[in-house]
């Protein structure tokens, strides 16, 4: 089989990680090939949620810092889940990337290679961080992993929404973010805070968490309204 003509996505979906690995063992150059959209096989394996293939590629020298044309990193790819049912394996992939980063940094300090880190807070072309994506997808374990590796919950996208806005209807994730946030009252371009959004959506548990962490209930939106 010609590795250059393979649809890796179809092979991974249809036959699984071991079938891909079997071909890569004979065509290792494919590990490092960059597609026209700026992605690599490592991006694909992360996006499709294959922790097994991610580990293989990482262990065989796949470059983790490549950014795609839409400015997405491997971390963005890892949290592109369909729903919460994929949270556990997606979190394992994030752990692989971020723990592996620490190992690479240690090796670099020992003089083995120049170290270029993965930026846990890298923004896509829409201003989204991986943490914002994980919060929106309700990937609680992924959010926990990203926060443990110092992802910033207060970074805003192009419309000034933070991860807390995205977590307004998920109290478990809101609890994780609120502890780490330095600005619970950050407002989006409409003037809405995370508390405003949570109240507007009727998510009492998330609203109470924000209030417990001293979010200000008196901040109105740009039109002078409140979410409650």
- Domain at 223, CATH number: 1.25.40.20
**pTM, to two decimals:** 0.87
Are residues 145 and 165 both part of a single domain?
Answer: no
71, 66, 64: which is closest to 104 by C-alpha? 64
Looking at the predicted structure, is the pLDDT value of residue 30 above 70? Answer: yes
Most confident of 1-10, 27-36, 39-48, 168-177: 168-177
The confidence band for 111, taking pLDDT boundaries of 50, 70 and 90, is: low
Same domain, 114 and 18: yes
- Statement: residue 105 has pLDDT above 80: no
Could you tell me the pLDDT band of residue 191, with boundaries at 50, 70 and 90?
Answer: very high
Rounded to an integer, the average pLDDT of 25-42 is 88
Of residues 35, 103, 38, the one with CA closest to residue 73: 38
Task: Find the range with the poorest average confidence among 70-84, 105-119, 145-159, 184-198.
Answer: 105-119
Question: Does the pLDDT of residue 108 top 60, yes or no?
Answer: no
Q: Identify the pLDDT of residue 225.
A: 59
Whether residue 212 sits in one domain with residue 144: no
Does the pLDDT value for residue 5 go beyond 50?
Answer: no
Last residue of a domain, one of 152, 187, 217: 152
The residues, ordered by sequence, that sit 6+ positions from 25 with a Cβ below 8 Å of its Cβ are none
Average pLDDT, integer, range 11-18: 92
- Provide the residue range defining the domain that includes 205: 157-228
Are residues 124 and 180 located together in one domain of the fold? no
Examine the domain organization and report whether 87 and 199 are in the same domain: no
Binning pLDDT at 50, 70 and 90, where does residue 104 land? low
Mark whether 62 and 18 lie in a shared domain.
Answer: yes
User: What's the structural domain count of the chain?
Assistant: 2
Q: How many CB atoms lie within 10 A of CB 45?
A: 28
Q: Are 143 and 88 in a shared domain? A: yes
Same domain membership, residue 29 and residue 123: yes
Q: Does 145 score more than 60 pLDDT?
A: yes
Q: Could you report the per-residue pLDDT of 57-94, keeping only the tens digit for each?
A: 988 988 878 888 888 999 999 999 888 899 999 999 99
> For residue 80, which of 156, 11, 120, 133 has the smallest C-alpha distance?
133
Residue 1: band (very low, low, confident or very high) from pLDDT cuts 50, 70, 90: very low
* Residues 141 and 46 grouped into a single domain: yes
Domain end (from 104, 135, 152): 152
Range in 42-51, 113-122, 156-165 with the lowest mean pLDDT: 113-122
pLDDT at 2: 45
């Amino acid at each position: 089989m010609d590795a250059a003509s393979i649809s890796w996505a179809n092979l991974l979906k249809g036959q699984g990680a071991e079938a891909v690995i079997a071909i890569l063992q004979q065509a290792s150059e494919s590990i490092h090939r960059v597609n026209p959209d700026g992605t690599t096989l490592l991006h694909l394996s992360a996006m499709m949620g294959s922790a097994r293939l991610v580990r293989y590629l990482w262990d065989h020298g796949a470059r983790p810092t490549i950014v795609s044309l839409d400015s997405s990193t491997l971390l963005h790819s890892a949290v592109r889940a369909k729903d919460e049912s994929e949270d556990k394996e997606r979190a394992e992939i994030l752990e692989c990337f971020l723990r592996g980063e620490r190992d690479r940094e240690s090796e670099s300090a020992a003089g083995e290679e120049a170290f270029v880190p993965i930026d846990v807070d890298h923004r896509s072309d829409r201003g989204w961080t991986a943490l914002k994506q994980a919060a929106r997808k309700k990937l609680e374990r992924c959010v926990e992993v990203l926060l443990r590796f110092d992802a910033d919950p207060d970074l805003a996208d192009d419309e000034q929404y933070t991860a807390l806005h995205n977590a307004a209807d998920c109290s478990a994730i809101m609890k994780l973010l609120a502890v780490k946030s330095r600005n619970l009252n950050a407002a989006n371009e409409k003037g809405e805070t995370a508390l405003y959004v949570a109240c507007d959506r009727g998510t009492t548990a998330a609203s109470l968490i924000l209030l417990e962490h001293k979010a200000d209930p008196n901040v109105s939106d740009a039109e002078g309204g409140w979410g409650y």
